[in-house]
Structure 1
Amino acid sequence: MPALLKRYGVVLLIAAIVAILPYVVPTSFYLRIAALVFIFSLAVLGLNLLMGFTGQVSLGHAGFFGIGAYAVAVLPTHFGVPSAVALVAGVVIAGLLAFVIGRPILKLKGHYLAVATLGMGILIAMVFTNEAQFTGGPDGMPVPRLTLFGWTARGSVTWYWISGVTLVLAVLLTANLIDSPTGRALRAIHDSEVASRVLGVDVARYKLIAFVLSAVYTAIAGSYLALFDGLVTPMTAGFMRSIEFVAMAVLGGLGSIFGSVVGAALLTVLPQMLTVFHDYEHIALGAIMIVFMIFLRAGIVPSLTSLFRRNPS
């Protein structure tokens, strides 16, 4: 029982939050913010699988985010593909691209890998900006609504449940993965690639698995955001979006599933709360992030967990 609780506790916690939140918030505006938190949590969860559990740095995951977003815009608009099929196609394209690109760039380590993934993300964003006849160029393009068997997804409440349920399923999948032989191999690679090889772990294969899975998670999140907003622009796949994902993962806690949600929530909700400072909003946000990193160096969730374990009273 304790082992099951340890594995599925975070799943039950997030599921409880998703189920209860609509009954305690006063207006649908808060559900819109919550839907954004869930969508970004899905992307950060994928990035955390790569960075936190496998130890591989990526500064270009917004590229996969943009692939998912533009797939649900370009394919229905220009090729008449149903939105649901376009979503699946975008995820498959992102996964295949990660598989092809991951083989050579995952041979790199440290800042070399970071720069390589950064270049990948920039190239993808440039394609979205320059191929104006398909993507609308710098101004972006509208995104048709998601329609499935005659039902159309619209409104904050609908997307709250879609994104919330998807996040719970993704957390469940990740929790099972981390406690599987594959997850143990990923954690071993994070600790030491040399030791992992000595123990017979196929390091290249498992790093590629983590890279592809993280791209799939991020592409799904990108599709959801585009369908939710009804608009997509090259900023969706921009460099700052990648930095935002990394900041969410680090603030919440690398190697923590719940930390992915906390980090995404923090950097989604805080800017909304800090608008009262007007011109000083970004200064306040930066100061808060610095304070968190100084006093909670391992990230919010791991640091607080360690603190409570040392001081249970």
Structure 2
Amino acid sequence: MRSGYFKEHYDGLIVLTDSPTVKAWVLLLLVALVAAPFLLSNFVLSYVIIILFTLIGALGLTVLTGFAGLISLGHVGFLMLGAYSYAIGVTRLGLPPELALVLSAVAPAFFGLLVGLPSLRLHGLYLAITTLAFSYIVSAGILAGGQFTGAGSGIMVERPTMLGFDLSSDRAFYWFCLLMCTLAVLVTLNLRRSSFGRALVAVRDNDIAARTMGISLVRYKLLAFLISAALTGVAGALMGMYVSIVSVEAFPFLLSIEALAIIIVGGLGSVLGAVLGTIFIVTLPEVFSTLMHGVGGALQEVMTTSAHEIKSVLYGLAIIGFLRFDPRGLRGIWHDIRQAWVFWPLRY
């Protein structure tokens, strides 16, 4: 039985894990994820793909809101910018898919810096409204872009051949999304453990005290927006590849609420929370729809005709429920279960 978590060296404080058990479970999980396309049906595999690129976007919001404490209601704007940057790069500029994918991170990152400027003066609700306005500006700009942006018709995007691998099949595209998601998770985990990540948390907890300690609020807030927007832009590009069309209608405001629901339900400021929250929020409407179809009658008809509204209600209920009964989110619940298992029977 473990008796403590004392670390003798600084390296032990920043390492991802020093537990052989955790390393074994992570390796087993990676093997299972790699083999998943051979075991899952096409329908279930499609949901796993959605979970993977949604998680990348959720990690972007985790850096901004979870680490730095900067509230954003307009993250769908960065998602749109990433998707359109990739689509325009491939179809209009003739860029290779690899360069277009890089562009899908660079373009939102640039606009993230511009949106981050008001964060130097604004806080809380005012900053949230500013980011919300930004998402509507992006949407209006795309619709006014004419043939270059596709306006209201959107841009058709084929799944490319990336780094010599044909991504046209769901199986190949799943593995590519798994690779990108794994890289995003590793980047976010290491970011949180670095001096940069600790500075972001200091800004979140008390920006006045952080500035007194020599932390540059200008630098760290802008970098938080930059990194967050870049990750979200990549998620938008993957989303565009998956649905094969990029249009404004595919990026409703509900996606911003979904992203907030993910990090709140999963647990603010936690990469594990982002993973658990993404799985919970993405599968919640489908689980609820299955239950309603099992009941049948009028409820089944409501799910068919008002799916968008039902999603909004479910996300709202999930946010309210976790904030009321367990603000730590799913990560806190998982922590309690793990502690009970590790210290049993001396937990209580």
1:12 CA displacement:
7.6
Aligned equivalent of 1:83, options 93, 97, 103: 97
Structure 1 counterpart of 2:73, one-letter code:
L
What is the match of residue 244 of structure 1?
258
CA distance in 2 between counterparts of 1:149 and 1:247 reads: 34
Contact 2:261–2:319 at 8 Å: present in 1 too?
Answer: no
What is the match of residue 212 of structure 2?
198
- Structure 2: 5+ residue runs without aligned partners? 293-299
1:307 CA displacement:
6.4
1:268-299: CA deviations, max 9, x gaps? 11222222313256288355554444322222
CA distance in 1 between counterparts of 2:80 and 2:255 reads: 10
1:107 CA displacement:
2.4
Contact 1:63–1:238 at 8 Å: present in 2 too?
Answer: no
CA distance in 1 between counterparts of 2:211 and 2:141 reads: 38
Aligned equivalent of 1:142, options 156, 164, 178: 156
What is the match of residue 330 of structure 2?
300
1:6-65: CA deviations, max 9, x gaps? 724889866643430434843132222111101000100110111111111011111111
> Structure 2 length normalisation: TM-score?
0.81
Q: After the TM superposition, which residues 108-123 of structure 1 pair with which residues of structure 2 at under 5 Å, given as runs?
A: 108-123=122-137
Structure 1 counterpart of 2:324, one-letter code:
I
Q: Which has the higher contact order (CA 8 A, sep 6+)?
A: 1
1:285 aligns with 2:314: yes
1:135 match: secondary structure: coil
Q: Residues 29, 119 of structure 1: CA spacing in aligned structure 2 closer, same or farther, 3 A cutoff?
A: same
Q: Point out the more displaced range, 8-17 or 66-75.
A: 8-17
1:160 aligns with 2:174: yes
Q: Point out the more displaced range, 23-32 or 5-14.
A: 5-14
Structure 2 counterpart of 1:114, one-letter code:
A
Q: Residues 294, 13 of structure 1: CA spacing in aligned structure 2 closer, same or farther, 3 A cutoff?
A: farther
1:217 aligns with 2:246: no
Contact 1:259–1:300 at 8 Å: present in 2 too?
Answer: yes
Q: Residues 149, 45 of structure 1: CA spacing in aligned structure 2 closer, same or farther, 3 A cutoff?
A: closer
1:103 CA displacement:
2.3
What is the match of residue 273 of structure 1?
287
2:67 match: secondary structure: coil
RMSD of the alignment, in Å?
Answer: 2.7
> Structure 1 length normalisation: TM-score?
0.89
1:148 CA displacement:
3.3
Aligned equivalent of 1:175, options 181, 186, 189: 189
Q: After the TM superposition, which residues 123-142 of structure 1 pair with which residues of structure 2 at under 5 Å, given as runs?
A: 123-142=137-156
Contact 2:264–2:322 at 8 Å: present in 1 too?
Answer: no
Contact 2:46–2:170 at 8 Å: present in 1 too?
Answer: yes
Contact 1:11–1:168 at 8 Å: present in 2 too?
Answer: no
Structure 2 counterpart of 1:275, one-letter code:
S
What is the match of residue 295 of structure 2?
none
The number of residues matched between the two structures is 313
1:135 CA displacement:
2.7
Q: Residues 308, 81 of structure 1: CA spacing in aligned structure 2 closer, same or farther, 3 A cutoff?
A: closer
What is the match of residue 66 of structure 2?
52
1:75-101: CA deviations, max 9, x gaps? 222222222211111211111111233
CA distance in 2 between counterparts of 1:228 and 1:64 reads: 17
CA distance in 2 between counterparts of 1:230 and 1:129 reads: 19
Structure 2 counterpart of 1:99, one-letter code:
L
1:248 CA displacement:
1.1
CA distance in 1 between counterparts of 2:122 and 2:94 reads: 40
CA distance in 2 between counterparts of 1:205 and 1:196 reads: 12
1:141 CA displacement:
2.3
- Structure 1: 5+ residue runs without aligned partners? none
Contact 2:14–2:194 at 8 Å: present in 1 too?
Answer: no
Aligned equivalent of 2:86, options 43, 56, 72: 72
CA distance in 2 between counterparts of 1:138 and 1:291 reads: 37
Contact 2:143–2:152 at 8 Å: present in 1 too?
Answer: yes
Aligned equivalent of 1:20, options 18, 32, 51: 32
